[in-house]
Amino acid sequence: MTRVALDSNILVYLAGVSRTAEDEGKIARVRGLVGRLSRSSNLVAPAQTLGELFVVLRRSGIDPVQARKILLAFADAFGTAASETSTMLSATDLVVDHKLQFWDALIVTAAADAGCTLLLSEDMQHGFVARGLTIVNPLAAAVHPKLAALIEG
């Protein structure tokens, strides 16, 4: 079964955090997509994305106890991908070789180490491939062929 990683912005929409008027539509799209993907894929939340989600939830006014409950629910619902020393070192390679931001590179590397072939992210470089992992913006106007194969298949 295909493994698909979820970036923090996707988790934020999944949690229902709305910061702008257009976020409501994104929340609905992401929830529908994750529902469809959960039937055809193993979903993974890298530890870094869970940490970033916690920060966003707190900044959105959610108390720490409730934010922690949301984090635990997502960690329970999805597989997780830890960041080890080797993950961090591989992330620095992506920074040097491809000019990625370090925290994004850490997410990419952790997802690749966890055997994911797709990383769903609204704000990373759509179509970028590293270590067998393709970054796909699930909110893009045109559905990436790799994502389409999973949701249509």
- In which band, very low, low, confident or very high, does the pLDDT at 55 lie, cut at 50, 70 and 90? very high
In the chain, where the domains are located: 2-152
Is CATH 3.40.50.920 correct for 2-152?
no
For the entire predicted model, the pTM comes to 0.96
Using CA of residue 119, residue 132, residue 109, residue 69, what is the dihedral sign? positive
68-85 pLDDT per residue, tens: 999 999 999 998 998 899
Q: Which of 103, 19, 7 is CA-nearest to residue 53?
A: 7
7-39 pLDDT per residue, tens: 999 999 999 999 899 999 999 999 999 999 999
**C-alpha dihedral (6, 9, 14, 20), degrees to nearest 10:** -160
